[in-house]
Amino acid sequence: MGEIGISRHEFYHELRWWEVHAIVRGYNNRHRNLWSATRWQTYNIMTAQVGSKGMQQAHINKPSDLIEFPWDKSEALPIAVDEVRQMQAEMDAINSQNG
């Protein structure tokens, strides 16, 4: 998996869902400014080409009407209690080793 530097097997079989979520969130955050700037630029080019009335007729009133990115709406993913306990146990084990 080129972007994160781990093998496909590790990605599919060894990572937990919350680890995959963190990887995806990190990837999105790394590219967020570029994607937002591209959307803003596209919105302005479209407005210049079709005019404000044309944009309103197409129900495009703001850049996020063109495409919605994950960060446009914040949704917290719930973490199961047993997974939190397992993560805490793993962190405790690491901390005790590094003591």
Q: Which domain holds residue 68?
A: 8-98
Residue 59 resides in a domain: yes
Residue 2 resides in a domain: no
- Closest residue by Cα to residue 39 from 47, 29, 51, 49: 47
Residue 94 resides in a domain: yes
Residue 49 resides in a domain: yes
CB neighbours of 70 closer than 8 A, spacing ≥ 6?
A: 28
Q: Is 88 left (phi over 0), alpha (psi -120 to 50) or beta?
A: alpha
- The pTM (predicted TM-score) of the whole model is 0.52
- Please state the domain count of the chain: 1
Residue 39 resides in a domain: yes
Residue 40 resides in a domain: yes
Residue 73 resides in a domain: yes
Residue 1 resides in a domain: no
Tens-digit pLDDT profile for residues 53-81: 999 999 999 999 999 987 787 666 666 77
